[in-house]
Chain A
Amino acid sequence: MVRINVNGEERQVDVPEDMPLLWVLRDELNMTGTKFGCGIAQCGACTVHVDGTPTRACQTPVGMLTPDSKITTIEGVKGKAAQAVQAAWQKLDVVQCGYCQSGQIMSAVALLTDNQNPTDQDIDAAMDGNVCRCATYVRIRAAIKDAAQTMRA
């Protein structure tokens, strides 16, 4: 049994310790908002927060987490930055296929939690690990700036 804390709830799962958090979330806990895109931490579709840090769930063996690690997924993300980011995404109709957007949003929320006035270079650095094959990057950048403005106001 592995004990983890997801979105503030303690969960017990009967899985091998090398199973990545991604598959624990998706297959064991039926939390499918976190997506499988590459499995090797190259696309960011599986981005969650572990103690506030954006983390690729596909390369995080569940056994490496402690019951004290606070895991936040798209289903549970909240707070000022999350609100501003999701509102900006909706206002600008960022999404196309939408499959990568859980991960994009989790990365953007982490960025804006730390930095409410990101430059284009800051955005590049924070978001380059999140691939969008629809290339919604123009709107992601605009939405991050919009959300940052909301947070500063």
Chain B
Amino acid sequence: MKFFTRSVTSLMLAAVFSGSALAAKTDITIGMALEPPNLDPTGGAAAAIDEVVYANIFEGLTRFGADGSVNPALASEWAIEEEGKRYVFTLQSGVKYHDGADFTAEDVKFSLDRARGEDSTNAQKGLFANITDVEVIDDTTVAVNLENPDGNLLFNLAWGDAIILDSASAETAATAPVGTGPFKFSNWVQGDRIDIERNPDYWGEAVALEKATFKFISEPTAAFAALMAGDVDAFPNYPAPENLPQLEADPRFSVVLGSTEGETILSMNNKSEALSDVRVRKAIAHAIDRQAIIDGAMFGYGTPIGSHFAPHHPSYLDLTGNSPFDQDAARALLKEAGVEGDLTLSLKLPPPAYARRGGEIIAAQLREVGIDTEIENVEWAQWLEQVFKGKDFDLTIVSHTEPLDIGIYARDDYYFQYDNPNFKELIGAFNVETDPEQRDVMLKQAQTMVSEDYVNGFLFQLAKTGVANNKIEGLWANQPTQANDLTGVSWTD
């Protein structure tokens, strides 16, 4: 009898366990190194905001796909009229916000006008500068009129900064975001986590996950421990590359290496006394051993670049040949410029590991060719104040993470102070060009010009090092924009 009871119990247990094993998990915990300061992507630049809300909670007219392509989102289709000066968008119908309000063309007008308005606090207000007005045609049709033809508009509208908000809930988006996305916001324990849950009334294809949690773990060792203990299922941007070989060897995890939009550069102040001489900038470019920096600072993760352009972009040109590691050439150039052995430059390093660790290596490499550096570690807030605004620096290391951002070299008074009228003209022409072939040619010209002017020391493209439980599929391998798009994520069993 005892035996019988026991076997019945074990049968029952077996049934329970196999039952739970058959039904795949529908919740996920995603680790992130930084917590978003708030959840309104239209009111701040922090990448962590988009990493929670982009494509999950909020949607725009268009959106980025995993491969960086621009796809329809709230706009199902569009027509380009008046030689590229007018875009007419047809909107998805039957879309509702998480609070039950209807999504209409009015919201598109409201959101775009808010982003480009006088007192807008949109961090990427420049994306909307070309828009002259937004015209509501009917509930599901809206036209965007432009000052000049704009080949970038659909791309610009895919950014997290261009998401569509309802006028009724826009003001509280920072703490209680209400969007149209497949997930709705449910809870935020500040300093610890944000929970989102499936939106049952989603207009598009329903997502596989019922619940997702973003957990904030800034300490690399703690991130490792959380993965190992099973507290976190995936870390799409794993903060400690030094642990990756160990995680790769662990059968529970898969490590996915991808590319980001982050061009990591040794920025040079092109108007500082010594660096206004192109020969000195060229000498520095030759003095840098990119692979040594990638190996030393990033544990081997990163792709060398020779200009300010992402290697995975179709228009990419490999220009690393313009500045190969060549110490003799560097010394000769310094001699020619008359600063041989008599050059001390300030090197200001913001907090990320690529800058702090990379900075030490670059300082050593520059010393080899006779350039001394004074390293100063700064916080981000200081960096923005002193380097970015004050231009009080010679060298700094920073990763420019916006997609397709070579246009910054055409800006007046940008912190590295490159001032080339030809380049400005080229970017001006590129911005109004809509023919894909012409755009490709222009992007190649732009890369070449920046590379041959040795504006900055081009180091490497930041890698995306993701770690996830190997039963998870659908996470983005690359990072065409800062996002953890969970719409296609599911557990395999």
Q: Do A and B come from one complex?
A: no
